[in-house]
């Protein structure tokens, strides 16, 4: 039996002026996998994440999520049907507390439920209590409970990255997109991050698409790796085959560290 596909990227192209950021990019993310998207700077990785989450529109091609095309859905709808993400350049609500940032993540998913429940005060109270309890559980899960009442902007980068993941978990996603989650993390934090990501897959059954430059992290957690270079897929396979792939090695040699 073929493994199931959670998201299918089909012939996606995107240009910015004369620059072809993505050219006919196709690949599939299998359900339950950690799928890495790697490639040198400027390869088009963030652009693809933006197209999947609906922040950018592709010039052509299709995104199929759970067998349905989602190209026409706005970002908030995509969150509701199960696509959550974090950002390469952190996008937290700095003036809100850590706990509030996670609560917002839950709100993004259940907005309509809130409005309906607004008809009855008792159920509003119940929903609020429920959201706080669940949000605190998520903070526990990522190891940020001790920070719950601090402003997000006051956390060090490593903890801000964890908070973005916590907010994404709050949306109860089927698919989580992580854009450079290890950027700015030290070795210890990166190790913890790799455990957290594996737990998202194994305990929470979340399918993950991860853009990351830390090769040790990627090789340690990924089931499948797709390599982009100048907007094109140049290789795909398991970590071992990717490490040995001459096209991949050449692409990375061209990049200064
Ligand atoms: N909004 C934009 N306007 C113009 N050019 C862009 C824009 N976003 C990305 N690019 C360009 O598209 C290419 C791919 O960028 P990006 O997707 O951010 O790459 P990566 O995440 O792989 O480093 C780069 O050359 C970048 O400068
Ligand atoms: Mg990027």
Domain final position from 157, 172, 187: 172
Does residue 110 carry a pLDDT above 90?
no
- pTM, to two decimals: 0.93
In a domain, 16, yes or no: yes
Give me the residues near ligand 2 (ion), CB cutoff below 5 Å: 45-46, 88
| pLDDT tens string 184-222 | 999 999 999 999 999 999 999 999 999 999 999 999 999
Query: What number does the ligand 1 atom closest to the CA of 22 have?
Result: 14
pLDDT on residue 47: 98
Does residue 63 carry a pLDDT above 80?
yes
pLDDT on residue 25: 98
> Which structural domain range is residue 178 located in?
1-82+174-257
Does residue 1 carry a pLDDT above 50?
no
| pLDDT tens string 136-147 | 999 999 999 999
CA 101 from centroid of its chain's CA atoms: 16
In a domain, 87, yes or no: no
Tell me the sheet residues that pair with 238: none
The tokens of 74 are what?
A: 């706005």
The tokens of 134 are what?
A: 């669940």
For the Cβ of 138 lying below 6 angstroms from any atom of ligand 1, the answer is no
CB atoms within 10 A of CB 173: 23
Among protein residues, the one with the nearest Cα to ligand 1's atom 26 is 42
For the Cβ of 32 lying below 6 angstroms from any atom of ligand 1, the answer is no
CB atoms within 10 A of CB 203: 9
Please tell me whether residue 128 adopts helix, strand or coil conformation: helix
Mutating to test ligand 1, I would choose from 19, 36, 89, 231 the residue with most ligand atoms within 8 A of its C-beta, which is: 19
CATH code at position 209: 3.40.50.300
For the Cβ of 105 lying below 6 angstroms from any atom of ligand 1, the answer is no
| Helix or strand holding residue 27 (H, E) | strand 19-30
CA distance 237 to 100: 39
pLDDT on residue 2: 46
Question: 169 versus 129: which is more confidently predicted?
Answer: 169
- Backbone torsions φ then ψ of 234, nearest 5 degrees: -110, -15
Residue 152's alpha-carbon distances to 88, 93, 98, 160, 181, in angstroms, are 16, 7, 5, 7, 16
CB atoms within 10 A of CB 6: 24
Distance 31 CA to ligand 1 centre (A): 28
Domain count, the chain: 2
Q: Are residues 72 and 25 in the same domain?
A: yes
Among the bound ligands, name the one nearest to the CA of residue 43. Answer: 1
Q: Are residues 101 and 166 in the same domain?
A: yes
């Amino acid at each position: 039996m073929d493994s199931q596909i959670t998201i299918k990227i089909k012939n996606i192209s995107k240009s910015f002026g004369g620059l072809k950021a993505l050219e006919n990019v196709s690949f599939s993310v299998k359900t339950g996998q950690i799928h890495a998207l790697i490639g040198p700077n400027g390869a088009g990785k963030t652009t693809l994440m933006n197209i999947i989450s609906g922040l950018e529109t592709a010039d052509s091609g299709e995104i199929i999520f759970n067998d349905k095309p989602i190209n026409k859905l706005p970002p908030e709808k995509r969150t509701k049907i199960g696509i959550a993400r974090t950002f390469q350049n952190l996008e937290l609500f700095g003036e809100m507390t850590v706990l509030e940032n996670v609560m917002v993540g839950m709100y993004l998913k259940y907005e309509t439920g809130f409005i309906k429940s607004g008809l009855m005060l008792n159920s509003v109270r119940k929903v609020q209590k429920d959201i706080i309890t669940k949000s605190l559980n998520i903070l526990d899960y990522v190891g940020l409970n001790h920070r719950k009442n601090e402003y997000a902007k006051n956390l060090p980068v490593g903890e801000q990255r964890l908070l973005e993941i916590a907010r994404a978990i709050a949306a109860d996603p089927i698919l989580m997109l992580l854009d450079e989650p290890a950027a700015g993390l030290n070795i210890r934090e990166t190790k913890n991050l790799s455990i957290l990501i594996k737990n998202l897959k194994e305990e929470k059954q979340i399918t993950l698409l991860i853009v990351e430059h830390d090769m040790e992290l990627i090789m340690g957690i990924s089931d499948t790796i797709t390599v982009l270079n100048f907007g094109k897929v140049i290789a795909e396979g398991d970590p071992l085959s990717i490490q040995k792939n001459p096209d991949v090695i050449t692409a990375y040699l061209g990049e200064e560290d």
